[in-house]
Structure 1
Amino acid sequence: MAVYDLEEQEKLDDLKAWWQQNSKYVSAAVVVVALVVIGVQGWRWYQRTQAEQASVLYQAVSQAVRANDLSKAKEPATQIVDRFARTAYAPRAALLYAKMLYDGGDKPGARAQLQWIIDHASEDELKAIARFRLAQAMLDEKQYDDALKTLDIKTDDAFTGLFADLRGDILAAMGKNAEAKAAYEIALAKIDPKSPYRAFVQVKFDALGGAQ
């Protein structure tokens, strides 16, 4: 029993010696792990809080759109891009607000909102929608070169047909019928044959001479 006690005492002494030498490192490691855990939890809480607050502002913009009240949309639309730009709600609110601005005659304001989405949205689909609408606005304002430049980017297949169709509209407006026809042909190849939209593109293609 004495031998056992002696062995246990030696182990205890070794442990105490080791702890004296390494306690600061162990404590530091524990602190680091704790900070990481707290940081992850804090970041998740922060993201959740940000999303909740952004959601409230998005709903305010959406309600203003339904009421067709541009004045009520301005404050929440401005706040959401200023304070919650990294949330999924911000670019969606900007899309809604851009349409309201454009319909209300504030074309520069609408274009600024669309450009913000292109520059800041994390979802490629939203960027593509913003590019499409921005190019449409430029076409309406006869800024043909800028419109073509806006569309000059590789997109997901879901948008290839739409981009090609709009490119055809721009080229047709510029009097470049052969190039417009080629763009419409690409659009026809990419748009779902069952889509009613495709028939509209076909009409424009046929108006330029159709397949020859």
Structure 2
Amino acid sequence: MAYDHEEQEQLESLKAWWKQYGNLITWTLIIVLSIFSAWKAWGIYQVKQAGQASLLYEEMQKAIHDKDQVKVLRAVTDVQDKFAGTDYAQMASMLAAKNAFEANDLKTAKTQLMWVQEHGKTAEFKSLAKIRLAGILLDEKSYDDALKVLSGDFPAELASAVADRKGDIFVAQNKTDEARTAYQLAIDKSTDKNPGRQLIQLKLDAIGGSPAKVAIESGK
């Protein structure tokens, strides 16, 4: 096919432009396509991971129902080792901790809660693990360690639970004033729909009722 002079010039210009920028465009396209493929593959991988983790979670639930502690620990360990990036890992760990606590295996319960505290994906799960861990430390009379676990920031929706737990610890330490302040704060941070609000009020009443206003303000 013959080209006229103008077409030939355009063709030569296009060749020169491609020679200068062709490799850059090609590599850019390759990178973009690679990123898209990796993103798509990652999505498929995550779905697959979640599916496999859910099977182990179901296996652990069955083991709990059958009271097979060996299988429970094996299942939760597998979820943690193989699928730590899924929600099932923190869910399984919390469930394993509850199961161990009910079996009076406080060492295992603490281990599972500490795993969530260190590796949990969400602030809510990590905070719940801290609150429950503080409860176990309270039972073990490790009061200072329990209060240390409850230090730092927590999600606003858990502020009442944290204050309530601190109140329990202060009561165990015979620190009545601090306990009153903590319980009052727990009530202030709770809503009328909170099922534990009445229990907190009962605990506050049992140690002499509301603290002085100055004490309440200093505890906020």
| TM-score, with structure 2 as normaliser | 0.88
Amino acid at match of 2:71: K
How far is 1:121 from its partner?
1.0
Q: How does 1:9-28 map to 2 (within 5 A)?
A: 9-28=8-27
Spell out, residue by residue over 1:131-188, the C-alpha distance to the aligned partner (whole angstroms, 9 max, x if none).
1110000001110000011111222222111111111111100111111111111111
Amino acid at match of 1:161: S
More moved, 82-91 vs 21-30: 21-30
How far is 1:64 from its partner?
2.2
**Equivalent residue number for residue 124 of structure 2:** 125
Asked whether 1:204 is paired with 2:212, we answer no
Asked whether 1:57 is paired with 2:56, we answer yes
- Paired-residue identity, %: 40
Asked whether 1:154 is paired with 2:153, we answer yes
Asked whether 1:179 is paired with 2:204, we answer no
**Equivalent residue number for residue 78 of structure 1:** 77
Amino acid at match of 1:93: A
| TM-score, with structure 1 as normaliser | 0.92
How far is 1:69 from its partner?
2.8
Gaps of 5+ in 1: none
CA RMSD, 1 decimal:
1.8
Spell out, residue by residue over 1:113-136, the C-alpha distance to the aligned partner (whole angstroms, 9 max, x if none).
101101111211101110111000
Amino acid at match of 2:40: Q
Relative to structure 1, the CA distance from residue 23 to residue 196 in structure 2 (aligned partners, 3 Å threshold; closer, same or farther) is closer
Misfit runs of 4+, over 6 Å? none
Relative to structure 1, the CA distance from residue 45 to residue 201 in structure 2 (aligned partners, 3 Å threshold; closer, same or farther) is same
The number of equivalent residue pairs is 210
More moved, 69-78 vs 20-29: 20-29
Spell out, residue by residue over 1:29-51, the C-alpha distance to the aligned partner (whole angstroms, 9 max, x if none).
22212211211112112211111
Gaps of 5+ in 2: 213-220
Query: Is the CA contact 1:65–1:96 (under 8 Å) kept in the aligned structure 2?
Result: no
How far is 1:204 from its partner?
1.1
Amino acid at match of 2:192: P
**Equivalent residue number for residue 112 of structure 2:** 113
Spell out, residue by residue over 1:97-123, the C-alpha distance to the aligned partner (whole angstroms, 9 max, x if none).
111122223212211110110111121
